Amino acid sequence: MTNNIQRIRKFVWSATMLLAVIGIAGLTQAGEAKHGKDTMKQADMTLWQAIDALAQQIPFSRKKVETLLSTHLEEKSGTTSWNFFEGPGPKLSEGAIISNIDLRLRLNGEGQGFLVLEIGGACVTIDQIKAHYENLRITGSPRGGSLNAQTYYSKTLPWGELSFGIKEENPRCLFSVIFRPTGS
């Protein structure tokens, strides 16, 4: 009889430990999803659809950007005038990836916000950009000394300025998309 009780106790203890391990693993996965570590899911939108949808979110807010891009933005140290939020973005349907989102909002709540998307994955060329946005003008160019410097091709739209950055390091492919709303 004592052996049966000891076996039952061992079984109950083993089952309890197994359930605890499963519970901890589940909490870890839920925490990663909540904090944006599970955001690299295939999105149904193209880069161009994402740009158009983000422009519709102006004035920007953390919640609007997080919801649209199915991500979580972490608050980073800001300045006395701005809050900074950053995080990864989704894979887009044509193979491009929003590898980083940088959202800046004024502390006083005024203004439209400012948004920078870093683009990776499939190469998006200047010709592809020009096919979607005609009459781009160069608004910034490298001054030498850094392969990270970018040439900016911009277009003024009803809501403000949209710019596309091409790095010197990889002059064929898009590196950044910048939303600079009027009054930001």
Whether the per-residue pLDDT at 118 is higher than 90: the answer is yes
**Distances, alpha carbon 98 to alpha carbons 1, 85, 91, 111, 127, in Å:** 64, 15, 6, 24, 19
Using DSSP, state whether 6 is helix, strand or coil: helix
What is the tens place of the pLDDT at every residue in 88-99? 999 999 999 999
Average pLDDT, the chain: 83
Average pLDDT over residues 105-109: 89
Comparison of pLDDT for 6 and 110, the residue scoring more: 110
Q: What span, in angstroms and rounded, lies between the C-alpha atoms of 31 and 33?
A: 5
Backbone angles phi, psi at 49, to 5 degrees: -70, -40
C-alpha torsion 100→102→103→105, nearest 10: 160
Percentage, residues of the chain above pLDDT 70? 77
Comparison of pLDDT for 26 and 64, the residue scoring more: 64
Average pLDDT over residues 107-119: 93
Whether the per-residue pLDDT at 172 is higher than 70: the answer is yes
Whether the per-residue pLDDT at 139 is higher than 90: the answer is yes
Q: How confident is the model at residue 184 (pLDDT cuts 50, 70, 90)?
A: confident
Q: What span, in angstroms and rounded, lies between the C-alpha atoms of 142 and 145?
A: 8
Whether the per-residue pLDDT at 27 is higher than 70: the answer is no
Domain boundaries, the chain: 1-34, 47-181
Q: Per the structure block, which two tokens stand in for 160?
A: 């403000």
Within the chain, residue ranges assigned H as helices are 2-34, 47-55, 62-69, 126-132
Q: Degrees (nearest 5) of the Cα angle 50, 56, 179?
A: 70
Average pLDDT over residues 65-75: 96
Q: What span, in angstroms and rounded, lies between the C-alpha atoms of 117 and 164?
A: 10
Backbone angles phi, psi at 20, to 5 degrees: -65, -45
Using DSSP, state whether 1 is helix, strand or coil: coil
Q: How confident is the model at residue 51 (pLDDT cuts 50, 70, 90)?
A: very high
What is the tens place of the pLDDT at every residue in 7-19? 545 544 454 443 4
Q: Pairing mode, if any, of strands 137-140 and 150-157? A: antiparallel
Whether the per-residue pLDDT at 23 is higher than 90: the answer is no
Q: Say what the pLDDT of residue 138 is.
A: 97
